[in-house]
Amino acid sequence: MLTRSTRRGFTLVEVLVVMAILLLLAAVVLPSIGAFRGDSRPRAAADVIRGELATARGRAMLESRPYRIAIGANGTRIRRAPDGPEFAETAAFEHADGGAAVVEYAFDYVTAELLSDPSAASDSGNGWTTIAVVLPNGTCLDDNIIVGVREDSGSPLRIQIRGLTGTSRVLPAGTEAR
């Protein structure tokens, strides 16, 4: 009488083949996981800057007084407040709120820096670098300011602030501001 023996494990060759297949899949998938996130953090910070510019423009036109948007000296904070000598001293909300006249909050995981001519924007002297002053007519005091937002040591995502219209746009990589 023949008895069938049941197999209770895997051979060494089978285990090695499965491990090789898993390593191959990992080598293909892991580089694309980093690219999946892409530049979402710098884009989010660019949206914050553009949003604060739009809010400052609206408030300046509504209240008939200039508003300033500035980034902190280390590039990790942004502040929007009425322009004047009390810009840095005024108490601020710590979250983006369109209803608040003065807001100051931190960027998440990125830093911002002024990329255009530093003399184009003024330094308030209190640890803030002005990137835009929006006048009551909706225009900006300075024209063609370029702000860069970067994560870690990568190349910056560039935002151009246009003076005549008081608006901004994200510049595609490899293009120059007009």
pLDDT in tens, 42-61: 888 888 888 889 888 999 99
Q: pLDDT at position 14, please? A: 92
Predicted TM-score (pTM) of this structure: 0.72
CB 14 within 8 A of CB 22: no
Q: Per CATH, is 40-171 categorized as 2.40.160.210? A: no
Ordered by start, the domain boundaries in the chain are 40-171
The CA radius of gyration of the chain, in Å to the nearest whole number, is: 26
Q: Which residues pair with 79 in a beta bridge?
A: 70, 104
Pick from 109, 95, 100, 108: which is nearest to 82 by CA? Answer: 100
pLDDT single digits (tens) 79-92: 999 988 888 887 87
Cα–Cα distances in Å, from 35 out to 31, 39, 40, 56, 87? Answer: 7, 8, 10, 34, 40
